[in-house]
A = this chain, B = another copy of it.
Amino acid sequence: MNFIELENGSVTTPQGFRASGVTAGLKPSGQPDLALLVSDVPAEAAGAFTSNLFAAAPVEWDRKVLRGGAPIRAVVVNSGVANACTGQQGAADAQAMAAYTAERLGILASEVLVSSTGVIGKLLPMDIIRHGIDLAVKGLSVDGGEDAAKAIMTTDTVQKRVAVEFELSGKTVRIGAMTKGAGMIAPQMVLCRNRPKQATMLSYFTTDAAIGREALRAALGVALNQSFNRIIVDGDTSTNDTMVILANGMAGNDPIVEDTPEWYQFVEALRFCATKLAQAMVLDGEGVTKFVEINVSGTVDDASARQIAEAIARSPLCKTAWYGADANWGRILCAAGYSKIPFKPAQVNLDFDDVPVVRNGLAVENADEEAQTAVLKKRSFQVNLQVGTGPGRFVLWTCDLSHEYVNINADYRT
């Protein structure tokens, strides 16, 4: 690795970023519910957003702003209410949230990105939002990354943040990030460019690297596809999924140019942060007790391997068996079998970590079921499925389905 991970890193670890997290009053629990992130100088920005048809109003706002191409100064995020399925009033509220933040910061509304997460179909209580923005602006601090990471949480049980540091052209460059999301997690985000590409996970990256917008967008795309776009908690793709990066150039490095060694180094560091947060999101998923890495190989192409991995990751029968640490491998083969990807059952091999389970479509002879079960009792394990000899492969991160998941979601709104 050409970078080091920093202790206690956050979105305010890179130079020139301040943040805050406050209690505006959106959550009945009284927990923090509004976060603000500000770059001291105009920053290049790139974003990726949900592919759900019911893209939330803040997502539509962000797309419009990012397509405009102008630099970004701030991101304001509320939790508790998603401002999705809220029509013209929702669009007006998202814009008003940007405008009010801009006014308080003395910048333009078009320099402010907006995110919301929470219940779908409710209008934002704008008085509370404005009150929260007032508090958040007052609270801005170079130590505010932790507060911001707390304020964007919904059913998350832990805050999720990271930062790394590396050298570029003799300068110290940093990337910081925070994310939230525990349910409605099966991001299929697409980069925002001319066509909207689109995840409710919210994820914000900051860097003090100097990098042009196109190079930044390309880097975000690579990191996205190696991280958030390969996790599935419940399989529901949200209306609000958002991944944004701001690059303010304050590190003073020579601007990073796409496809150069410096760009690859930046991408590697960015990808590390994104992957770490994506995995943390799965492990903190609603009711999750097991982190499961699904490795599918031997298909004609990677897309086929992905389709098989997704069928397994979405299967309630596989997920409940993992919860019960039941080495019921038949359910895994069954899910692969209905994935609509063709393969030869007699060529299928399956291992739990490195413990053989299936060879050539059949239970291994003298199967060590104790060893199989021991793997499934771990908090984190691999399901390694080989369905042929083709070059295709895909790695996906998912989780089990527990009683607690049902508890959380049978009555989310009360």
Contact = CB atoms under 8 A, between A and B. Distances in A.
Interface string A48-67: 00011111000000000000
A316 B405 contact: yes
A334 B406 contact: no
A337 B409 contact: no
Interface stretch (A3-11, A131-139, A236-244): A236-244
Given A54-B345, A315-B235, A411 B324 contact: yes
Nearest to A341: B53
A406 B323 contact: yes
Contact of A409 (B236, B314, B320): B320
Interface stretch (A83-91, A162-170, A250-258): A83-91
Interface string A382-410: 00000000000000000001110111011
A331 B86 contact: no
Contact of A234 (B121, B317, B345): B317
Interface string A252-284: 000000000000000000000000000000000
Contacts of A413: 326, 328
A343 interface: yes
A227 to B, nearest CB: 19
B87 A334 contact: no
A320 to B, nearest CB: 4
A128 interface: no
A331 B119 CA distance: 9
A183 interface: yes
Contact of A120 (B87, B333, B409): B333
Given A85-B333, A184-B334, A403-B406, A235 B54 contact: no
B53 A316 contact: no
A255 B84 CA distance: 59
Contacts of A84: 330, 334
Given A84-B330, A329-B121, A321 B51 contact: no
Q: Contact residue range for chain A?
A: 35 or more
A362 B401 contact: no
Contacts of A343: 53
A335 interface: yes
A70 interface: no
B87 A361 contact: yes
B326 A411 contact: yes
A283 B331 CA distance: 23
Contacts of A342: 53
A206 interface: no
A101 interface: no
Contacts of A405: 316, 320, 406
Interface in A327-361: 328-331, 333-338, 342-343, 345-346, 358, 360-361
B51 A338 contact: yes
B406 A321 contact: no
Contact of A236 (B82, B331, B407): B331
Given A121-B363, A235-B315, A316-B401, A53 B337 contact: yes
Interface string A357-371: 010111100000000
Given A235-B315, A317-B234, A361-B87, A54 B410 contact: no
25 contacts: A52-B334, A52-B338, A53-B338, A54-B333, A55-B337, A85-B358, A85-B363, A87-B360, A121-B329, A121-B330, A121-B363, A184-B331, A184-B334, A234-B316, A236-B315, A236-B335, A238-B334, A320-B406, A320-B410, A321-B410, A323-B406, A324-B412, A326-B411, A403-B406, A406-B406
Interface of A: 51-55, 82, 84-87, 119-122, 183-184, 186, 188, 234-239, 314-317, 320-321, 323-324, 326, 328-331, 333-338, 342-343, 345-346, 358, 360-363, 401-403, 405-407, 409-414
